Chain A
Amino acid sequence: MTTVLWVVLPYACLAVFLAGHVWRWRRDQFGWTTHTSQLLENQLLRLGSPLFHLGAFGVIGGHALGLLIPASLTRRLGVSEHAYHLVSVSAGSVTGVMLVAGLALLIARRFVNGRIRRVTTTMDKVLYAFLTAMVVLGMTATVGRNMLGGGYDYRETIAVWFRGIFWFQPHTELMTGAPLVYQLHALGGFLFLAIWPFTRLVHVWSAPLAYLWRPYVVYRARRGPAPAPRPAPAAVRDADRGRRSELIALVPPGRDEGPYS
């Protein structure tokens, strides 16, 4: 069971994440979009979307910091355990609150606004449910355990296990001892990666940074050959007339009203 949860499942999810993206990129460029609904509703989005996105940037940055940078490195750099804890908890809760508020607004507009409700797909609902679960678990861990509770040093256990996955040396024993809320958050995180390529989240990889230095007006040559020239309608009409007079000549004498009368 331990192996399944902390070895098989993460690798399976990562495999789906990678293969899913390759498949979607090659098969579904047309569906690769933010799927903007600002046209249909702007009041809640105007506040909710920037909050959510900026909060998400902070949260992603925080996760990268906490999971990818070994505790030994920050110690060597002279960052005290207390200072690290202070920064991570305060920054984590601020961005977390932004994310929660943004997500709440975005979910609210899906319920409140009939126009938005109608364009919400099943995949959107799955995505929102996942995001909510992840945020609730994450905030419980940050606020509940590290801020109000006694604190848990995930950098010595979860982070080491997480990095181990990428070195192909996952230390499952580090996870079995972690508190339940952290376990669930970690598992949910991998499942979240697995559904990522099948949701509108793919737009993250299209963040248009190249816009900052490309020329304003884009010129592009037509792809493939042009269709063969077609006769203009007037030519068709005139050609038709020519044929018609030929046909009229074929009409037996006495029937002079023409072929189309």
Chain B
Amino acid sequence: MRIRAQVAMVMNLDKCIGCHTCSVTCKQTWTNREGTEYVWFNNVETKPGIGYPKHYEDQDRWKGGWKLDAKGRLVLRSGGRVKRLSRIFANPDLPSIDDYYEPATFDKDILVNAPAGRTDTPVKRPYSALTGEPMAVTWGANWEDSLGGASGREDPNLARMAAKVTFEFEKTFMFHLPRICEHCLNPACVSACPSGAMYKREEDGIVLVDQDRCRGWRMCVSACPYKKVYVNHATGKAEKCTFCFPRIEAGQPTVCSETCVGRLRYLGILWYDEDAVLAAASVPDDELLDAQRAVFLDPFDEAVQQAARDAGHPEEWIGAAQASPVWKLISEYRIALPLHPEYRTLPMVWYVPPLSPVLDAAGAAGRDDTDADDIFHTIRDLRIPVEYLAELFTAGDAEAAGGVLMKLAAMRSYMRARTLDGTVAQELLDGIDMTGEQVEAMYRLLAIAKYDERYVIPAAHARDAAVLEAQAAAHGDCPVGDPDGAGPFFPADSLRVRS
């Protein structure tokens, strides 16, 4: 067993209102540069929808991720090493910029500089950020927002479901899906990088591109089934979500998490066994979900803790893994699910599927959306939303997806009875095989979602910090420990009383 730590994320989709604050703050932080105009490390999609870039989930077309070959061995969908190098002069699976969108800018100057006395109102025009020519804006990273700009009918996930349900489904519901890089345990992008510039960090599992070693072979872009590695067309190098590693190292949440208005993101660490990854990625489709859950090691298991200590992980991390909200949501409550486990990359951003579409469906069907029994029946009867969620999160296993929704519905009814009537609905607990304490803790984590419980991020190894402090002290410019008691976060004048 080789134990490793992974910084992972869970998003509670029921709370996502699709405000795009995460996308905007991420863009301001990381991709507001020439060459990355079209790049969104974080984007929010409306489902059903074709997504960004268009149809990225259609792996028959883009050949992203892994698959099992005829002999049951795990292979990259785009082919082996020799085949990849043979296609290095022109990558047949690479999306073009038009599959993302043509980025535009506006000549805002005209609004201020237009001559006075004219009867017409000056209007700023869109110009292509690629050619500088005037252009018509016809697509964007969130063009389908709230099903506004496009038809969800082309959604690749719907294509796998029976065609007859599509129309009904569109009328039934929609929800938002925020996406970042999955920082996979079995990353296809890293595996496809010819120059070895992409790597998974040993300390925290964050997947990064070494900008000095990337040679621009752009195989990572096509190999990633989530299309979360991008070509910077100004520098000719690949770029991707960094999981805000400078913040994570300092014990702070990522920018997208920090600024999330709905407080729906959870960050924490997980222990996993590196030697178990390949086997978990190679199981048949119907075992994928359980296999991916089984890669994580129980942080309360003494043997796991000892293994972590032996591997040199600090005590703080062992405690943080036990307090990790991500571990709770994935492994204890088992309500978080991976996005497209069938890509076999073992993604590390998991999702609590949304119950609200089912509640809407229950209401529309004339059922009582506060009655657990009615919701359970809705989940069983209205196969369409559940099957769709199953396509997204459980490799098509509607039973598993439905089970998670049952838990969420039971928690809702249990807390309702608890709060309104003061009763304990034991039959609900029996139905989902959880204790009252667990359900209340789950409720607290999901609904109250306190900052300190959502983000449990141990700072990078303390001995590293000590080294850095020693370095800074040696250079005499250390901003920490100012004798005035005003550290870097407290400039002295910011505390002055304004009268």
Contact = CB atoms under 8 A, between A and B. Distances in A.
B252 A37 contact: no
A61 interface: no
A245 interface: no
B464 interface: yes
A219 B274 CA distance: 11
A117 B133 CA distance: 12
Contacts of A225: 464-465, 467-468, 471
Contacts of B495: 243, 247
B97 A50 contact: no
Interface in A200-217: 200, 203, 206, 208-212, 214, 216-217
Nearest to A34: B216
Contacts of B186: 217
A115 B452 contact: no
A233 B236 contact: no
B90 A226 contact: no
Interface centre among A49, A214, A219, A234 (most CB of B within 10 A): A219
B151 interface: no
B250 A260 contact: no
A30 interface: yes
A96 to B, nearest CB: 18
A222 B130 contact: no
A70 B471 CA distance: 61
Given A225-B464, A229-B459, A220 B200 contact: yes
A214 B196 contact: yes
Given A226-B461, A230-B251, A49 B235 contact: no
A252 B233 CA distance: 61
Contacts of A218: 190, 193, 196, 198-200
A26 to B, nearest CB: 11
Contacts of A227: 246, 249-250, 460, 465, 468
Chain B contact residues, majority secondary structure: loop
A114 interface: yes
Contact of A206 (B91, B92, B201, B215): B215
A257 to B, nearest CB: 10
Interface in A165-184: none
B167 interface: no
Given A206-B195, A230-B250, A217 B465 contact: no
A251 interface: yes
A46 interface: yes
A226 B251 CA distance: 11
A73 interface: no
B466 to A, nearest CB: 8
B202 A208 contact: no
Interface string A112-131: 00110111000000000000
B233 A39 contact: yes
Contacts of A117: 131
A41 B480 CA distance: 50
Contacts of B195: 206, 208, 211
B138 to A, nearest CB: 16
Interface string B434-463: 000000000000000001100100011110
Interface in B225-243: 231, 233-237
A214 B249 CA distance: 29
Interface residues of A, number: 61
B356 interface: no
B450 to A, nearest CB: 9
A53 interface: yes
A50 B85 CA distance: 12
Interface in B176-218: 186-187, 190-191, 193-196, 198-203, 211-218
A228 B213 contact: no
A49 B252 CA distance: 45
B258 interface: yes
A115 B489 CA distance: 44
A42 interface: yes
B84 interface: yes
Contacts of A3: none
Contact of B237 (A33, A228, A240): A33
A25 to B, nearest CB: 11
A38 B94 contact: yes
10 contacts: A38-B94, A40-B233, A50-B89, A206-B195, A218-B199, A221-B201, A222-B203, A230-B251, A232-B253, A260-B498
Given A211-B85, A231-B489, 11 more contacts: A36-B216, A38-B91, A39-B96, A39-B218, A49-B89, A54-B89, A208-B195, A218-B200, A222-B203, A226-B468, A227-B468
Interface of B: 81-82, 84-85, 88-92, 94-97, 130-133, 186-187, 190-191, 193-196, 198-203, 211-218, 221, 231, 233-237, 246, 249-253, 258, 274, 277, 451-452, 455, 459-462, 464-465, 467-469, 471-472, 480, 489-490, 495, 497-498
Interface of A: 29-30, 32-42, 45-47, 49-50, 52-54, 114-115, 117-119, 200, 203, 206, 208-212, 214, 216-222, 225-234, 236, 239-240, 243, 247, 250-251, 259-260
